[in-house]
Amino acid sequence: MALVNPNFAEEMERFGADAALECFNCGTCAAICPLIYEHFPRKMIRYLQLGAKDRIMENASELWRCLHCGLCTQTCPREADPGEIILGLKRFAVANWRRS
């Protein structure tokens, strides 16, 4: 069970991920992403939307698979800037690494 944290998405704005709630979970980014890996990056964006911090930290190492090719950001129909969200999540993961 993942417990939702209603304030998390706003906290993440500090880390540079400010459009995450525009994402409507279409999965285009996951389809275009060359990694073809378990719904990446949508899955991480979804955890961010819900504020499922534990899930993000559990899967944090996956964030470093990202090539920053920018394809997802180019194709996202909602301009949610998924590439930037991944970067933001990396910053968040680094900032919280020791504490977790």
Partner 1 sequence: MTDKKTDKETIPAKGKVGVYICYCGGNISDHVEVEKVRESMEKIPGVEVARTDMFMCSDPGQEMIMQDLKSGTVDRVVVASCAPSLHETTFRSAISRAGANPYIYEHANIREQVSWVHHGDQATDKAIRLVAAATAKAEGLKPLEPIRMEARQHVTVIGGGIAGLRTAKDLADCGVAVALIEKSPFLGGQIAQLERLAPTGDPAADIVTELAGEVLGDPGITVHTCSLVETFNGYVGNFTLGVKKRPPDTDCEKLSSLNPSGRTPGEFIPFKGFYPESVAARAEELSIETGVVVLATGFKSYTPRRGEYGYAEFPEVITLPELIRIMAENKTTDNCLEINGRQVRSMAMIHCVGSRQIPGIHPEDESGNFNEYCSRTCCSATLDTAGTIRQSYPGTRIFELYRDIRTYGRGQEELYEQAAKNKVVFLRFEADESPEVIRSNDHDDFPLRVKVKDVLTFGEEVEVPVDLVVLATGMEPNNVSELVDMMKLPVGPDRFLLEVHPKLRPVELPVGGILLAGTCQAPMDVGEACSAAAAAAVKAAVLLGRGYVELDPFVAEVDLEKCRGTGACVEACLNEGALNLVEMEVDGEMVQRAQVTSALCWGCGACVAVCSENAIDINGWTLKQYEAMVDIIVADEATA
What's the CA gap between 86 and 22, in Å, rounded?
Answer: 15
For residue 51, report the phi and psi dihedrals to the nearest 5 degrees. Answer: 75, 30
Q: Which is nearer to ligand SF4, 53 or 66 (CB)?
A: 66
Angle at 81 (CA atoms; ends 70, 12), nearest 5 degrees: 125
9 contributes a contact to partner 1 by CB under 8 A: yes
Q: Which is nearer to partner 1, 6 or 61 (CB)?
A: 6
Nearest to 42 by CA among 6, 73, 8: 73
Stretch in the footprint of partner 1 (CB under 8 A) among 49-57, 58-66, 83-91, 92-100? 49-57
Binding residue (CB under 8 A) for partner 1 from 11, 16, 28, 50 = 50
Residue 88 partner contact from ligand SF4, partner 1, none using kind-dependent CB cut-offs of 5 to 8 Å: none
Distance between first and last Cα of the chain: 18
By CB under 8 A, name the binding residues for partner 1: 1-4, 6-7, 9-10, 21-25, 39, 43, 46-47, 49-50, 52, 78
